[in-house]
């Protein structure tokens, strides 16, 4: 099997980071070489852009600025880290990628999907994730988990209606491409979600 590019998605507090750790532990035990990364971020420059995106309150980015900054960070991350890893035969496990842009800047902010598709082609060429796992939880469940964990950043302070649109956009994307997407119910306890996820992936990858 070629090295896989795997992305994890979902609304705030859906359990991506928790399940990413479990997935990485499982891959390590099977001797699969991988890097673990995230978006926005994943390189020093892209992490600096993440800081601007999530923690700029005085002069908050407009929807278009936010969209362009997401893709600026992605261009750096993709070329200097993701593609390098894949070319070396290393899997990439990434917490969020372009589906988050369709969900947040598209669904949430209302940026036309055509803009996002144009930037996706420009920045990524033909590179797309091989597998995208969406952890689906009701918005109120995700937000209350996120609130219990840490202080809200700029995007987390959006209202529930914004995150309903984000969730709906994620599910719409999954429905349009069932080959790539796996939708996992993120509401059961962590260990149950992990069990279901790993059983699904073991079959998919024959690992
Ligand atoms: N963004 C990102 C965009 O707008 N556009 C883009 O293109 C991209 C790439 C940063 C922000 O950037 C935005 C989206 C985001 O607003 P992020 O760092 O991934 O993205 O931030 P969050 O989604 O806020 O990450 P979270 O850490 O909040 O969510 P996770 O990773 O889904 O949740 P996790 O695993 O940290 O769990 C949160 C809490 O819930 C508990 C955990 O222990 C933790 O305390 N938990 C559970 N509790 C009960 N049952 C379960 N099954 C649980 N699973 C986890």
What are φ and ψ of residue 9, in 5° steps?
A: -135, 165
CA of residue 152 to ligand 1 center, whole Å: 11
Q: Write the DSSP symbol of residue 111.
A: -
Domain count, the chain: 1
Going by CA atoms, what residue is nearest to atom 5 of ligand 1?
Answer: 101
Residue 17 Cα to ligand 1 middle (Å): 6
Question: Quick one: DSSP state of residue 134?
Answer: E
Q: What is the CATH number of the domain that holds 158?
A: 3.40.50.300
- CB-defined site of ligand 1, < 6 Å: 10, 12-18, 39-40, 70, 95-96, 100-101, 104-105, 145-146, 149, 155-156, 186, 189-190, 193
Nearest CA to ligand 1 atom 40: 145
- 33-45 per-residue burial string, b: 16 or more CB within 10 A, e: under 16: ebbebbbbbbbee
CA-CA distance, 207 to 186, in Å (whole number)? 23
Domain that holds residue 62: 5-205
Q: What's the pLDDT tens digit per position in 78-118?
A: 999 999 999 999 999 999 999 999 999 999 999 999 999 99
Cα angle: 82, vertex 181, 72; to 5 degrees? 35
CA of 193 from ligand 1 middle (Å) equals 15
Q: Does this model's pTM top 0.95?
A: yes
* Angle of the 44-55 helix axis to the 63-77 helix axis, nearest 10: 160
Q: What is the largest CA-CA distance in the chain?
A: 50
Low-confidence ranges of the chain (pLDDT < 50): none
pLDDT of residue 181: 98
**How many Å apart are CA 181 and CA 142, to the nearest integer?**
20
């Amino acid at each position: 099997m070629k090295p896989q590019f795997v992305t994890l998605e979902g609304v705030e507090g859906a359990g991506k980071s928790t399940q990413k750790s479990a997935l990485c532990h499982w891959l390590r035990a099977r001797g699969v070489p991988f890097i673990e990364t995230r978006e926005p971020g994943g390189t020093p420059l892209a992490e600096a852009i993440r800081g601007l995106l999530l923690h700029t309150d005085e002069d908050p980015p407009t929807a278009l600025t936010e969209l362009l900054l997401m893709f600026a960070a992605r261009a750096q991350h993709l070329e200097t880290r993701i593609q390098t890893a894949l070319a070396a035969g290393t899997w990439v496990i990434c917490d969020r990628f372009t589906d988050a842009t369709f969900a947040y800047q598209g669904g949430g902010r209302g940026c036309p999907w055509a803009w996002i598709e144009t930037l996706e082609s420009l920045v990524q060429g033909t590179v797309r994730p091989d597998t995208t796992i969406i952890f689906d939880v009701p918005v109120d469940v995700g937000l209350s988990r996120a609130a219990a964990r840490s202080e809200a950043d700029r995007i987390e302070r959006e209202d529930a209606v914004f995150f309903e649109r984000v969730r709906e956009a994620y599910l719409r994307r999954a429905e349009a491409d069932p080959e790539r997407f796996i939708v996992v119910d993120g509401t059961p306890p962590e260990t149950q979600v992990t069990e279901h996820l790993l059983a699904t992936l073991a079959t998919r990858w024959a690992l």
